[in-house]
Structure 1
Amino acid sequence: TSLVARAQAQPLAFTDSNWIWTGETASPGGAAPNGPRPFRMTIPHTNTKCPVCATIIVIADNRYTLYANGAEIGSGIAYEGSSSTSQVYTVGLSPEIDNVIAINATNTGGPAGLIVTILVDYLDGTSETFVTDASWKTLQTATASGFENPSLDDSAWIAANVQGKAGMAPWG
């Protein structure tokens, strides 16, 4: 199955995903400092589960750049004002390593948030869904060069702050 056919075969939703940010807001959905913030999550490789591709949907308030294993996959202004639009990306993954999905999300004023759903297909024919939650790692500082590289040691990064489920205010 081609990656394009894969993306069209099983549309994703944010139903089980959460809006996350860095914990810099006083309240969920509250105003956050302007500027870029890094986010990372790892899709583990095991002897029995080898990831081969991922379909990803993402919305960020206000902008984002998406990376898989250090390579830029896409970017956009995904949330401005009262309208939000998710983008769909399908990327090949390496079955031999732990794969890293990284996002540089930028707030340009007001509330800041990131919401993602990832559907991973494994070599054995099974699939698994990953969502934005406290398992994502982040920093309360501007995004540093190289943050998207799988070899980066993110052990000192903090857990992302869960602001609430998809559909919460101010994102609706």
Structure 2
Amino acid sequence: MDDRSGVGFDKDMTTAPNTLARPVRHPLRTGVLLLATVTTGMTAGVYTDWSNTIMPGLGDVDDRTFVTAFQALDAAIMNPLFLGVEFTGSLLLIALALVLHLRSGRRATLVWLSVALAAYLVSVVITMGVNEPLNQQLRSITELDTDADYTAARAILDEARWAAWNTVRAFATLTAFASLAWTLVTHQRR
């Protein structure tokens, strides 16, 4: 007996006897969401490491060591993996995941994806508005000979400001990561 007008009939359910309804799978949505989560987690890890270990460690060294190490770390992070996959890729993947889920009608998923995108955008604004300009100022200094030169270079970076805003962007990317992780959970629920 097939009563399609009855209460409880779901268009995804089959009418064959003794079969269970199977949810419709969306591998592209799931794949993009998974990649967004992984790349955002990687970026959150980088910012958190800078806040939790690198800047406190550099804070205890002399000016010459600080400037030399910071410049070397800054040069090393300017690579295709971080800039292309983690930093930019995360933003694009979160946005794509949101677009792919717009027609799903799943409000919880859309809310958490929106939170993730907003939080990640906060980290991008901080990076481009605070941390990167400070990095660029330190990058532009090439002639360092005396201890006074290194002291002046360290002052140009404005270490306390850089570290404080990096902590804010670490929290922002951690918020984005947690939101994406929860989105993966809600995405799989029917």
TM-score (ref. length: structure 1): 0.26
Q: Which has the higher strand share?
A: 1
- Structure number having the greater helix percentage: 2
Larger radius of gyration: 2
Q: TM-score, normalised by structure 2?
A: 0.24
